[in-house]
Each structure stands twice: as C-alpha cells, then as structure tokens.
Amino acid sequence: MSTKVVMEALSPTMEEGRVVEWKKQEGEAVAVGDVLAEVETDKAVMELVARAAGTMLKHVVAAGATVPVSELVAVIGEPGEAVEAGGNGKKAEGRKDGKPDAPAAAEPAKPAPAKPDSAKTEAPTPGAPAPGTQPTADRENRPTSMPPAPPAAAATEGGRVKASPLARKIAAERGLDLQGVAGSGPQGRIVQRDLAALSARPASAAAAPQVPAFRPIPAGEPFADVPLTQIRKTIARRLAQSLGPVPTFYLTIEVDMERVAEAREALNAAGQGKISFNDITIKAVALALRQHPACNAWWQDDHIRYWNEVHVSMAVAIEDGLITPVIRHADQKGLRQIAAESKDLAGRARERKLAPEEYTGGTFSVSNLGMLDIEEFTAIINPPEAGIIAIGRIAEKPVVHEGTIVPRKRMRLTMSCDHRVIDGATGAQFLQTLKGMLENPLALVW
C-alpha cells in the first residue's frame, strides 16, 4: 500500500518549503526515519523524514520546487506498485476476478504465469522503479517477478519499526538506529531494555551535549578523540552542504618580516647551512599550534582528533603534482634541524624517494608560493588535517611604522580552515599568535 509523502510543517511558522535535494531517489528503498529530502523552510534547511517504509516510487515534485505545507511531494510504496500519474498514491490492487487480460493501464494484474499475455501486464508501470532497483532488504519470500500483492496490513507493518515512545526517544537522544534492533516486547516491539546493550557500545553520538569543543589532552597521550557535539555535527553538515566536502574558510594576515629577515641574516652569516624563511615559518607555525591545540586536529567524520603532537606537513611541488613531507615534532626541533630536514625531505620528494611514513601523518600544513612571487593565495586543506597556511612572498611595502611611512618587509599568510573543526575566532587567534612570533623572532628561540 502506498503512502503519500506530504510537505510537513518543519517549523511552527512554516507555510511552504523548498525541496533542496532529494536524498532518496525513485526506486530506492526507504526505511522509517530515513531522510527523504532536504527542505528549506523559512528558517533553515531541515530534513523531511520517511513516516513509512517501502520504496520511493515517485517524486511528485522535482528538487528546487517550492511546495505549500500538506501538499503531496512523493509517494512511497511497494516496489513496482502503480502510482497514479497525478501522484495521488493510488494503491495497486490485484484484479479480483483473476482475469489477466484487459487490465487498467496502471494496474498490475494478478500473477498468472501460465498465460503468456499476463507478462504484458507486468510491464513496469509509470513511476515504478526500473527493473533491478528492487531494494535488497526485500519483503519476506515474495518473488521479485511477481507483481505486488494487494496491501495487507502485515506488509505495511513489515518495514515499520515498532518501538515504545520511550525507546524512540532514547534512540533519538543517543543517535541509535532502531532499524534492525531486536525488540523483546509484544510483536517485536523495541522497548527500553532492548537499547541497554546498544547504548553500552561506544556510540559516537552518545556523548553528553555539553562536551566542550576542546579539552586539554592528558599528558603522555599522543592524541585525544573528542566526540562531536550536536552543534559541531550540525556545523559540519551545513557547511559541507554549502562548500563541498571540506567546508573551508580563509583568514589572511599580514606579518612584518623585518626582524625575521635580520635574524635570518645573522643566523646564515654564522654559517652551518642556510635557514630559509620557510623553515622559520614552519617553526613558528609549530610553536603557535602548541599554544592553539584546537587548530592541531583531524576531522574524523564522527569525531575530532585533537593532537598532542605537532607534525607539520610542508607542500612540495614535484614534477606532476605535489607531495607533503612531514616535519615531525616540529615544535621541539631547532631551526637548524628543521632546515636540514626540510631540505632533505624536499630533495628526496623531488626524486620521489620518500617513504610513505614520511609524507603522511601531519597534523597541519604549510604551503609556500612566495618564491614564485605570489602575493597571497588560498591553499587546499589536506584532509584529515583541519588547517593549512599559504605563505605569500616577502616584499617591501610602504607601511606606517611609528608614525611615518617607511618601506618594510611584509608577508601575507592565508590560513584555510576546516570550519567543522576550527571556527573563525579560533583560527584568527592562532594567526595572531603566529604573527606575534614572526614579528618577535626571539620567541622562536625561547
């Protein structure tokens, strides 16, 4: 028996909704509680959820359509079930007289395999799923070649999850999926006690909503896995919708490099190998990450991994692409060591001689196009890392310094942030620290 899906009032003031995207395509299996479509209300983009199980027979309206509340938007039913052209969810009735000939156009006839002309009547009806799109989790023993039986109460019940109101509430709070849970109540009703075992498993969503975005990592642990809060999940989902798989935003800061330049000159004058601006920036980034652990993290889909170790990936251009060798524990290494390592890694990267462990496992990235005279640019985040800093060229610019316009060496840093992990202010504070370090390079030494 088919079920009409109507535009629901997803907010108290909603009068109409726009179908942003169908999440269940025609022919796809639908379980109760599945998200059928994303609907833009007057306030937000919300989920239109299935109230019945079966197969998505028809989208009555296309994505992008705006539909008044209570109007039909789709029909769910048995695979192969007929849907009226108007989409009114007419149920498919088997013929009562048993005669397979002269069926109504959109009405599958009863099976009569012995009679060849019955095959005609089994042709897919308008709006029915194409052959081969039967849901794998199918009804009992019904042969797939058979036209759908007339609606039986049991058939409708087949896909519906029976659970007590309390069990549903607990499941919603803990983010548990009741589909497939064995109910111990009458007729398989899922009751509170059936969820005890489920809630015991480390469900990522089971965390209390008051989990802070960042907590100090216990000393000695290489990392801490922090479950996602509801807000964090929502931010992740919403931003991913708008910007793609990694919802990125960009922060640019201009740094005065006069004193770094002086320091570098002095260091290089002392011999023992050259230290680049890049090396200094890597060191500063590593130290700043130490102060801003919220930026030193991996997005792990259902949780965020905050690292207690700082491993800086540096983008190195190679012949037909780029690779990101990692300076491990960059915060604990001296500038000379960083310089030596980065030179070695970059060299071997260009020769394609890096071992996999040498270009994986970074916790944050830097990318430098300054040597190619790029003023500033935005870099693409290297997942699962949550941030990358794009280093622009160092150029002399007229700036107001202590009341007069003077030429000074300036550099622009642009940080790309994964908004699922790093919020605007979090990233900005990190950049502020980084700028402070570069403008007072003694901080790098101490």
CA distance 438 to 417: 20
Please, what is the minimum distance in Å from the beta carbon of residue 175 to another protein? 16
CA distance 288 to 387: 13
Please, what is the minimum distance in Å from the beta carbon of residue 177 to another protein? 18
Tokens representing residue 23 in the block: 């999440």
Beta strands per DSSP E along 221-318: 223-227, 248-256, 297-299, 303-307, 312-314, 316-318
Please, what is the minimum distance in Å from the beta carbon of residue 8 to another protein? 18
- Cβ-based nearer residue to another protein, 154 or 196: 196
Q: Which residues is 4 bridged to in the sheet? A: 75
Cβ(79)–Cβ(135) under 8 Å?
A: yes
- Cβ-based nearer residue to another protein, 187 or 242: 187
Cβ(214)–Cβ(423) under 8 Å?
A: no
- Cβ-based nearer residue to another protein, 164 or 440: 164
CA distance 166 to 8: 23
- Cβ-based nearer residue to another protein, 44 or 172: 172
Tokens representing residue 222 in the block: 């290489």
Residue 269: its H or E element: helix 258-269
- Cβ-based nearer residue to another protein, 168 or 290: 168
Please, what is the minimum distance in Å from the beta carbon of residue 178 to another protein? 14
- Cβ-based nearer residue to another protein, 171 or 316: 171
Q: How many CB atoms lie within 10 A of CB 53?
A: 24
Q: Say which amino acid occupies 272.
A: Q
Please, what is the minimum distance in Å from the beta carbon of residue 169 to another protein? 4
- Cβ-based nearer residue to another protein, 149 or 191: 191
CA distance 443 to 427: 20
- Cβ-based nearer residue to another protein, 184 or 360: 184
Please, what is the minimum distance in Å from the beta carbon of residue 159 to another protein? 22
Question: What is the signed CA dihedral for 69, 41, 51, 133, rounded to 10 degrees?
Answer: 110
Longest dimension (CA), the chain: 102
Please, what is the minimum distance in Å from the beta carbon of residue 194 to another protein? 9
Please, what is the minimum distance in Å from the beta carbon of residue 152 to another protein? 24
Please, what is the minimum distance in Å from the beta carbon of residue 49 to another protein? 16
Cβ(15)–Cβ(60) under 8 Å?
A: no
The string of DSSP letters for 188-231 reads: G-B-GGGGHHHHHS--GGGS-TT--S--PPPTT-SEEEEEPPHH
Contact footprint for another protein (CB under 8 A)? 164-169, 184-186, 191-193
Task: Please state the φ and ψ torsions of residue 190, each to the nearest 5 degrees.
Answer: -80, 125
Active-site residue, selected from the candidate residues 59, 292, 311, 419: 419
Q: Which among 68, 58, 66 has a CA at the least distance from the CA of 24? A: 58
The β-bridge relationship of strands 312-314 and 326-327 is antiparallel
Buried b (16+ CB within 10 A) or exposed e, 213-242: bbeebeeeeeebebbbbeebbebbeebeee
Q: Say which amino acid occupies 205.
A: A
- Cβ-based nearer residue to another protein, 32 or 381: 32
- Is 419 a catalytic site residue? yes
Catalytic residues: 419
